[in-house]
Amino acid sequence: MRNFYHPIALVTLLLASLGTAHAHQVWLENDGGQAQLFFGEFNDNLRETSPGALDKFLATPTLAQQTAGGTQQLSGRRNATGFSYNAASQAQTLFASASYPLIDRSKRNEPALLWVPAARWVATPTQAVAVNAQALDLVPTGQPGQFMVSFNGLALPKAKVQIVAPSGWSREAQSDEQGRVNFALPWKGLYVAEVHHSDKQGGEAQGKRYGEASYVTTLSFSVKDGMPSPALPSAIKP
């Protein structure tokens, strides 16, 4: 996630290049059970559309929904601005990982890049949530303003996490040895936090070899108490 005050020209350049598509993110918003997975830049109020960059995903991501009754897998559908799902009104957390084509870097004499964008939403940012054991994840620990970064179920230390409020206000912190990171949450409204992790081991995906995997996961949640936050800037058109 990048600083709120980015030149529009830089955003345009990023959109024009497939090789920098992994600079984007996916994030979840949930309004009373109407959940939506967006692709773009939350802090720039940029949402990719269909037809367009949204159509590059290989499939509609499956949404894992956790309620008091257990975990369910939800199918969704692509619409003009994202992927939509009918979630339970009592959902405690939602998680989705999207499949994106391998990014060709042969012009730079580098092996292909596997980009793995994922998103989590939680109903209550002060309620602890179990991590996904097969992903880069960011979850509340149960302590106010405290979150945990994990990779494949293990705490991930020294990971940079950036959090953005609706106005574009942002802060950055680094996780400690237990993967924990702390933020003040002064504003009312939706927050989106983001963490990155790079795995240089390489492997195979989509029937092809890749040399590096780049993970980016967001955590979104709403805060009911706090100062009124200015609205996001006007949407940037792709």
Q: How far is CA 25 from CA 44, 80, 96, 168, 218, in A?
A: 12, 17, 12, 15, 7
Q: CA 76, CA 84: separation in Å to the nearest integer?
A: 5
pLDDT of residue 237: 56
pLDDT mean by block of 10 residues, the chain; 238 residues: 37 36 86 96 93 97 96 97 96 98 94 97 97 97 97 98 88 97 94 96 94 97 86 60
pLDDT of residue 229: 73
Q: ∠ at Cα 177 (173, 183), nearest 5°? A: 25
pLDDT of residue 23: 79
pLDDT of residue 233: 61
Q: CA 35, CA 83: separation in Å to the nearest integer?
A: 8
- Full-model pTM: 0.87
> What is the identity of the amino acid at 176?
D
Give the residue from 95, 118, 124 showing the smallest Cα distance to 35.
Answer: 95
pLDDT of residue 123: 97
